[in-house]
Every structure is written in structure tokens, then in C-alpha cells.
Amino acid sequence: MAGSDLFTGSLDLIILKALSWGPMHGYAVGRWIRTSTSDALTLQEGALYPALHRLERRGFLDEEWGMTDTNREAKFYRLTPAGRKALRAETARWQSYSQMMTAVLAAARP
Amino acid sequence: MKRAFRVPSSGGSRRDVEREIELHLQLRAREFEATGMSPEEARRAALDAFGDRSAVETEVAGIHRDTIRVRQRREWLGELRQDLSVGARMLRRAPGFAIVALLTLALGIGANTAIFGVIRSVLLRPLPYPHAEQLVQIWEDHRALGRAEPEWLAPPDFFDWRDQNKTFASMAAYGGFGADLTGDGDPESLNGLSVSGNYFDVLGAKPDVGRLFTMSDDDANAERVVVLSHAFWERRFGADPAIVGRRLTLNGNQWTVVGVLSDRFRAPAQIAVPDFVAPMRRPADSRCRRGCVTWHAIGRLAPGVSLAAAQADLNRIAARIAVESPSTNAKVGAWLIPLQEQITGSTRPALVAISVAVALVLLIGCVNLANLLLVRGAARSREIGVRAALGAGRGRVVRQLLTENVLLAVAGGVLGLVLGIAGTRVLAALVPAGIRQVQEIHVDAQVLGFAVGITLLSAALFGLVPAIHAARAGLMSSLRQTSAQSGRQANALRGMLVVTQLSLAVVLLIGAGLLLRSFLAMQRTDLGYRESGVYFSSLAFPQARYKDQAQTLAAIEDLLTRLRANPAVKTAEATDVPPLAGGGDQDMTTVPVGSTPLPGQPSTMWYRSVSPGYLPAMHVRLVAGRWLSEADRVGPPRVALINEYSARRFWPNQNPVGREFVAGHRPDSPRITVVGIVASTRSDGANAPYKPELFLPLEQSPPGFVTLVLEPARDVASLTAALRQALHEVDPLIPADAVQPIDTLVGDMVALPRLYALLVGLFAATALLLAAVGVYGVMAYSVAQRRREIGVRLALGAAPSHVARMVLGSGGRLAAIGLGVGLGGALLTGQLIGKLLYGVSPYDAATFVIVPVILGLATIVAAWLPARRAMQVDPLVAIREE
């Protein structure tokens, strides 16, 4: 992914996590990522949109046009049941993966 | 977050993606502004943070491109499913309508499919020969001699045409060859063909086993060889693979089998699948001279040569022969007929007429359905209005209605296909057996495709106009409860449809009427001889064993004597060619002595050899002179009977009895004395013209084959037994054909006209019924619509009979217009069935009077029921209703 230091697939997981709180439009997702990672993630914000649309196409997200708090028309994304399931599965996979990586990296010299 | 309403999602369209990203940039810029940046700086910062905007937009649009299509399709399918279930529900709720519609469609589609199946097999599919379009049947043209039909070829003419032409790739001659197979199981009489050596090359036929012929087989001194048809090889020899080299005794001669034809082979002759084919083995100087027409011929045009060019080429040669041999060939030309036309020509007018009839029935059916749907559409305007109010666009409503119609059409099409498959079998009977075998007529992918095509066409025909109309009317009336304007429009449209129906029905009814009258006329025709009570049996005396005429004659007389002695036989007579045998008799040049025949007439009489008692036994009437008698033996004086037609032609205004004529044009041609005149008879059937006929005593002109004419004393079984016994005593090697009652020959003669009349009559009756239903539907609906008006009229003192007259009057107006248009159409189509008619003009006055009366009556009945309902309207109830 252009301009990103993410591991493959982690952006998708982050988006799913962001939307697990409820429907959001793209900007809000981006803002949530920035705040929740304390701006530590170097990410071209534009990269968010292909990821969103790809998740939508895979059936993990539903789109819906609605009004923002400031009364502007915006496209909202919402987790579908499939998206929620994917979030659970990916979270579990990520956790076991990171534990494994942590263990490997902390391992003693053979 | 507030979401006021859901807008139908438009997926990832480019515009939506741009809006989405623009929003992101604006919100992000505002965030930067909050940190103290100027709006321009904030915008730039937002863009920097975002990255390459247009690349992102392109990428996102790419992600969705396929999805949009899939979603649209899914939505469309969802709506279709909804439409279908609504449609099915509507049809279930109106079973009467659904049944009428289904039957109408099934009948129309079925009949059209069936006739298409036959037409395709008979008229459209090329003949089973390579480059069949190059094949032509070659005839002599004797029209200048007064013979309307194409004539066979004289061998010398054939040889000249074959050798001198510049337009044919090849040319072959053939003729029938009846032969008795003996010495190998039961004797059997076979139907064979005798052909020139290049016959199979001209047709492009290939053998299944062994070989076919070469020109050297055609020589008079060549070994006698024969090829068998696949069917005969299987039937008689159990498809013996070692058949080549086997010797067969045909007419007493030994013939060697050299090959077997493919089972797909069809001969372009009356007998499409002959049992065997043998070379003619004729030398060029055949005994049959010019004027002796005995051969058939086919030719293959050289590539690129037109029929007209070949015709001109042969006529040029014929003109030269006419100069060389004026006595025989003065007015003889060539007559070429493309083989396809030759074989299917007689069937074409009937098939075309019937296909027009079925197309009209389908059309009337569709118009009827359109009408019914219009009425239903009006009744459903409320429902449609509600749908429209709920947000369905006109396109959506039209689609809903069209789906119902397609549902109907498909159900009708499936039923129709079933009917069509059954109907194909019935219609196959229309096609005379021959090169187009009935079993070749079947339903396949092409026929299925046709059925599907006309089903969809019907759906569009009967469905589109009412659907659009209903949608428009429905949308309008959702705004205004009653819409007089759209009502009037609908009535006009319905009136037009009914007029169309009525006029089409008139055309059909008149066609059916003409065919019916033609059939009746044919059945009433007096043939001039008895039509029942006698039986025919054909025998052949092979030349190999019956070397001279005396021997043949002795055998025939022996046979007749034995039969007459049998108590089971009342009468036994003989002729060479029985009536209704499908031609086969021969004509003889006759020159009356001391008389001038009518000018411009053929100088030939058609002759039959008959036993003295044959004509009385056939109940032919003697007009003048005496019958032939047993005393008219071999040798002079040679005597004959002629028919009245010959008498008038050859001895105009004279009494021919006692006069002489010369039979033939050679110096040694015999002189024959006319001893009596018999009434003219329809020897070739009711629809064939009288011919100049001549009857010679069997004893003075013994043929090589004979048909016994038998009248049973008791029953057919004992007659057959008597024949078998007598034949066994005279010559056990001659096979006895089953006896055939003359009744079946007479019946066969009218079988086709009867079938035409029946089929077209059936279609016409359907058309009449449909038209009547159409009239009824329109009148009933208009009465229902005008209930209030009628109520007011009645309340104001109009007599109920006046109201009824008003309704009947508007029905009558429709009928009058329909009849007028229909009669005009019928006059135009008279030409089309002219060829199928016998004894009735295509503009037959009676038919043109009776049909309008029938249709008028049907219209009155159809309009009467609604009229009566109008009379029974209760003014109080009707006025209060709205």
C-alpha cells in the first residue's frame, strides 16, 4: 500500500475495528485511526478509500448516504454481519500472530 | 449523526467517490484551520496528507466497476421474480381469462409450429443431393400440340439433347422397371428403376456396399448388373454383407448384384426408394423412335449456368430436330423444371394456403388477447394507479404488465409446442409419399427455435400495446378518478382491434368455404364408371418367359376362364391400365381416315387394352354402336371403341361408328375401325379433365402387364383365395398382389381436398369463435362503462328496447366495417387458393354471401348478451353508483 508502513492486511483490520463502534464516514474513520494510534501511523490518508471500497465489495461493509453532524451529505460505512465475523476472526489471527512474533523475537540464543 | 432518509445507493460511481473524497478534504482542512492555518494552507495540508487524489479516485472506481453491474443484475432479477409472482397471482385470480388466453395461444402457436415443421422439411430443406440446386428435371414440351402437362422424352431426342448441349454438366435418363423376382424364396414383384449408366453420377449418389454403375454397364451386350436399395437389401437378404456377386432372377433373366445404395438415397421419381436399380442396357439405335416418349430425364447444370440459359440451349437443339423430323417433332420443345420444384410443386399451394390460415389464426388470437388485456387493464387501473403512487415509474409498470404477458405467452408456447408436435404428424399426411419421406418430417432445434420465436412475437403483439396503454391510463386515472378521455381512446383502440379480427376471420371463413365447396363438388362429380363393388389386382407377365403376344394372351385368357368358373367370382375382366391408377396409360398417334380433326388439338388418343366385358363391368355407358365382343379376335378386322370426347374431336359433326383411323404414323401402321362410342369418363379422377380415349380389344393388343377387374360373388376373402388358386394353376411364378377395392382409390382421390377443407375449416371456425368473443368483450365492456349513461337514459324514459338497439347498433357498425375490409381481403387472397379449388370459382358468389351472413349472425349473438344486460340496468342503482 502506497505510503504506508503497515503489515499487509492490518489496515483492513483497523478499519473493521473502527467501524465496530457504529457507522462512520471515511473522514471519521481516518480521524479515529489517527487518534487511536496517536498519529504514530504514517499513512497517506488517500489509501484509506481504496481499502474501504475493497472491504465493501467483499461484503464486509455496507454503504449508506446520510447526514453528518454538521448537516452535510456523506457516505457512511457500516459493518455487515460478515464484516463483524471477519473482524473477530482477523483479531484472533492477529493476536496469535503477534504473540508468536513477540515470542520469536524475544527468544533466547539457541 | 442523523440519517433522514435513505437514498437508493448508486454504488461506487465516479461522482460519488469524488463527493466522498471532497468531503474528506474539506473536513480535514477545517481540522487544520482549527490549528491556526489560513484556509489556503489548510487545504494544501489536507491534500498533502491525502496523497494522489486522482489516483485514489481511479483505483476506487476500478474496484466497483464489476460490482455495479452485478448489483444491477441482481436488482433486475429480484424485480423479475416479484413481477413473475405477481403475474402468476393475477392469472390465478382470473382463471377464465387465463384459460381462454392459454388455449388461444396454444392453438395458434401449435398450428404454426406444426405447419412450419412440414414446410421446412418439404419446401425449404434442400433435396438430399450434393449441389441439389443444379439439378433439373428435363421434359419435352408438347404444349404447342395441346398437351398441358410436361411430356416424357423420346430416346432419340434425349440422346441429341445430351450430346449437343453446351449448358449441362451431365444428363441421365431413367424409367420405371417392374420386375418379378423368382427362384430365391417366394416370388415377389419388385418396383425398380432402369437408368442410364451415369444416373448416379448426375445425382452424386454413393454406394454403401460394392459399386454403382459406369457407362460400360449401360451397353446392350454388357453383363446384367443391378444395385439394391438399402431397404430391400435388409428386408429380403437380411443385410447380407456378401451380397455383391449374388445372382438374382428378375423377369427370368440372371442379374448380378454389384452394390447396395445408401439408406439415405432417394430417387427423384414417383418411387423414391426403388427396390433395385438396373442399367438400361440400350444401344443408341433403340427401337423406340422419335415421338415415342418413354423416358424421364434429369440433368445437372454446368456451374454458373442459369435455368433460362439451359432452357434456351435445349430449345435450340429441339428446333433443329423439328426441322429434321417435322412429322414427329414439329412443335416439340424442351421444358426444364428445377428438381426441387418438380418434387414439391404440387404440395406448395396447399402448404402455403394452410400456413397463411394458421398465421391468421394466431394473429386473430393475439388481437383477441390484446383486447382482453385492454379490458383487464382498464379494470386494473386502480391497482396500477396505486403502484404508480407508491413510486413505480411507467417503465416499471409496463414491465410488470409485460411480464404477465410473457408468462402467458410462455405457458401458451409450451402447450403450443406439444400441440405442434402432434400436429406435425397430422400434417405430414398432406405430403404425398415420395422423395420427402414422412418420417423425415420431425421436430428439431430449428422448429423449437421457430416456436420460441413466434411465442415471443405473440407476446409482444398482444402484450405491448395494452401494457403501455394500461400504464398510461393507470397513471392518469390515479390523479383523476374517471378519465373520460382515456376511456374513449381505449374504446376506439378496442373497436379497431375487433374490426381487424372480424376482417381476418372473413378471409379465413371464405377460404374455408371455397375449399369445402370444392371438396363437395369433387365428391359429387360423376366419374362415369362405378365407384364401388369391384376389386383390382395387377399382374406382370415377364418378357423372358412370355416371349410372344400369343403366349401372354393365352395366359390371360386361361386366368380369366378359371376365375369365371370359380363360384366365388361374379365377374372377371382385364385391362392394362385401370382408372385412377395415377396415369400410366399411353397415347397413340391417330389419323382418322376421311375426316379432318378439329384444328389446334393433339392428334393422339389415350388407349387402353380391355377384355370385351371390361367396360360393361365398370358400368361405363354405351352411347352408340356396339360393345367389343369375344368375336374380336387376333387379326383383321381390327376394331376399337372410342369415347365421346374422341368422337367430337376427330369426327366433328359426323357419326364415327364404322369409320376408320390409322394408329401410328408409320407406313405399316394398322387401320382400326370404330365400332362403338362410350360416354367420356374421368379416368384420372374428378379433378382431371376428360381425355380423348380409345379402347382396344385385349386380344388385338395384348399388353405385358394386366390388371384384373374382379367382382366378388360372396366376399373379398373368397375372391382373394380364388385369385391365388387360379394364378397358381396358370403360372406359380407370378406373384399375386393383394386385391384393392376401387372404393379406396375413389376415397384417396378426395382425401387431400377433404383434409384441406377440414383443416382450413377448423381454423376458420376458431377464427369465428375468437372474433365473436372479441365482439362480445368489447360490447360487454362498453355497456359496463356506460351503465350510468344508460341508467340516465332509462330514467328519462328511454325504452329498454331502444337501449338494446343502441348497443346492437354499435356492434353492427364494427361488424360492417370488419366485413367490408375482410371481403376485400378475401377477393385478394382468392388467387392464393385458386390452384386448390375444383369446380368452384375463387370468387364463388354463394360463399361470398353465406360467410357474411354467418359472421353477421355471430356478431349479433355476441352483441346481444351485453345488449340484454343494458336493458336490465336498474336506473336507480346505476345512477346512485357514482
User: Does residue B780 have a pLDDT over 90?
Assistant: no
Supply the pLDDT for residue A2.
40
Distance from CA of A42 to the nearest CA of B (A): 10
Hey, is the C-beta of B623 within 8 angstroms of any chain A C-beta? no
Partner-chain contact A50 B59, CB within 8 Å: yes
Give whichever of B94-108, B196-210, B499-513, B798-812 has the largest mean pLDDT: B196-210
What mean pLDDT, rounded, does chain B reach? 80
User: Does residue B482 have a pLDDT over 50?
Assistant: no
Half-sphere exposure of B127 (CA within 13 A, CB side): 26
Hey, is the C-beta of B547 within 8 angstroms of any chain A C-beta? no
Could you give phi then psi for residue B719, rounded to 5 degrees? -65, -45
Q: Which residues of A touch B17 (CB under 8 A)?
A: 49, 53
Distance from CA of A61 to the nearest CA of B (A): 12
Per residue in B493-502, pLDDT (tens digit) is 778 888 888 8
Hey, is the C-beta of B16 within 8 angstroms of any chain A C-beta? yes
How far is it, in rounded angstroms, from Cα B84 to Cα B65? 29
Distance from CA of A76 to the nearest CA of B (A): 9
Query: In chain B, what is the straight-line distance between the N-terminal and C-terminal CA atoms, in Å?
Result: 51
Amino acid at A110: P
How far is it, in rounded angstroms, from Cα B214 to Cα B219? 10
Supply the pLDDT for residue B389.
65
Q: Is the dihedral of CA A85, A90, A96, A102 positive or negative?
A: negative
Partner-chain contact B9 A74, CB within 8 Å: no
User: Does residue B620 have a pLDDT over 90?
Assistant: yes
The chain A residues in contact with chain B (CB within 8 A) are: 2-3, 23, 25-27, 30-31, 44-47, 49-50, 53-54, 56-57, 63-69, 71-76
Interface test with A, best of B31, B35, B60, B74 (most A CBs within 10 A): B60
Partner-chain contact A46 B4, CB within 8 Å: no
Q: Which residues of A touch B56 (CB under 8 A)?
A: 46-47, 49-50
What is the 8-class DSSP label of residue B166?
S
Hey, is the C-beta of B2 within 8 angstroms of any chain A C-beta? yes
Residue B852: pLDDT band with limits 50, 70, 90: confident
Per residue in B790-837, pLDDT (tens digit) is 888 888 888 888 888 888 888 888 888 888 998 888 888 777 777 777
Smallest CA–CA distance from B16 into chain A, residue: A75
Per residue in B565-605, pLDDT (tens digit) is 999 999 999 998 888 875 555 666 677 777 776 665 566 78
Partner-chain contact B23 A72, CB within 8 Å: yes
3-state secondary structure B261-327: ECCCCCCCCCCCCCCEEEECCCCCCCCCCCCCCCEEEEEEECCCCCHHHHHHHHHHHHHHHHHHCHH
What mean pLDDT, rounded, does chain A reach? 84
Give whichever of B131-135, B339-343, B524-528, B764-768 has the largest mean pLDDT: B131-135
How far is it, in rounded angstroms, from Cα B252 to Cα B181? 8
Q: Which residues of A touch B68 (CB under 8 A)?
A: none
- Nearest-CB residue to A53 (from B28, B51, B64): B64
How far is it, in rounded angstroms, from Cα B81 to Cα B68? 20
Q: Where are the beta strands (DSSP E) in B385-442?
A: none
- Nearest-CB residue to A67 (from B4, B19, B52): B4
Rounded to 10 degrees, the C-alpha dihedral B467/B468/B469/B475 comes to: 100
8 A C-beta contact, residue A50 and residue A98: no
Distance from CA of B18 to the nearest CA of A (A): 11
Hey, is the C-beta of B17 within 8 angstroms of any chain A C-beta? yes
Partner-chain contact A49 B20, CB within 8 Å: yes
Chain A contacts in chain B segment 43-82 (CB below 8 A): 49-53, 55-56, 59-60, 63-64, 67
Supply the pLDDT for residue A47.
86
Query: Percentage of chain B with pLDDT > 90?
Result: 17
| B225 vs B743 pLDDT, higher one | B225
Supply the pLDDT for residue B418.
87
Query: In chain A, what is the straight-line distance between the N-terminal and C-terminal CA atoms, in Å?
Result: 36
- Nearest-CB residue to B51 (from A3, A23, A76): A3
Partner-chain contact B51 A46, CB within 8 Å: yes
How far is it, in rounded angstroms, from Cα B762 to Cα B134? 40
Question: What is the number of residues in chain A?
Answer: 110
Angle between helix B484-524 and B445-479 (nearest 10): 150
Partner-chain contact A75 B19, CB within 8 Å: yes
The C-alpha cell at A91 is: 483479531
Supply the pLDDT for residue B432.
55
How far is it, in rounded angstroms, from Cα B378 to Cα B405? 16
Half-sphere exposure of B7 (CA within 13 A, CB side): 10
Residue B288: pLDDT band with limits 50, 70, 90: low
Question: What is the number of residues in chain B?
Answer: 882
Partner-chain contact B7 A65, CB within 8 Å: yes
| B203 vs B340 pLDDT, higher one | B203
Smallest CA–CA distance from A54 into chain B, residue: B63
Distance from CA of A94 to the nearest CA of B (A): 26
- pTM value is 0.62
- Nearest-CB residue to B60 (from A30, A49, A67): A49
DSSP H/E element including B76: helix B53-93
Q: Which of the residue ranges A82-96, B340-354, B359-373, B684-698 would you say has the lowest mean pLDDT?
A: B340-354
Smallest CA–CA distance from B53 into chain A, residue: A46
DSSP string, B316-382: HHHHHHHHH-HHHHTT-EEEEEEHHHHHHTTTHHHHHHHHHHHHHHHHHHHHHHHHHHHHHHHHTHH
| B768 vs B243 pLDDT, higher one | B243
The C-alpha cell at B416 is: 403450443
Partner-chain contact B3 A47, CB within 8 Å: no
Partner-chain contact A26 B24, CB within 8 Å: yes
DSSP string, B13-35: -HHHHHHHHHHHHHHHHHHHHHT
The stretch B286-294 carries a mean pLDDT of: 68
Pairing of strands B225-228, B253-261: parallel
The stretch B715-739 carries a mean pLDDT of: 86
How far is it, in rounded angstroms, from Cα B632 to Cα B640? 9
User: Which residue(s) pair with B296 in the sheet?
Assistant: B174
The long-range contacts involving B437-442, CB below 8 angstroms and separated by at least 24 positions, are: B437/B266, B437/B272, B437/B273, B440/B121, B441/B117, B441/B118, B441/B121, B441/B122, B442/B117, B442/B121
Q: Which residues of B touch A67 (CB under 8 A)?
A: 1-4
The C-alpha cell at B333 is: 420443345
Per residue in B24-55, pLDDT (tens digit) is 899 889 888 988 889 999 999 888 888 888 88
Per residue in B665-703, pLDDT (tens digit) is 666 778 889 999 999 988 877 777 788 888 988 887 767
Partner-chain contact B4 A45, CB within 8 Å: no
Give whichever of B242-246, B413-417, B419-423 has the largest mean pLDDT: B242-246
Interface test with B, best of A1, A29, A61, A65 (most B CBs within 10 A): A65
Q: Which residues of A touch B3 (CB under 8 A)?
A: 64, 66-67, 76
The stretch B285-289 carries a mean pLDDT of: 60
The stretch B629-645 carries a mean pLDDT of: 83
Smallest CA–CA distance from B58 into chain A, residue: A50
Phi-psi category of residue B181: left, alpha or beta, with phi > 0 → left and psi -120 to 50 → alpha: beta
Amino acid at B60: V
Supply the pLDDT for residue B127.
77
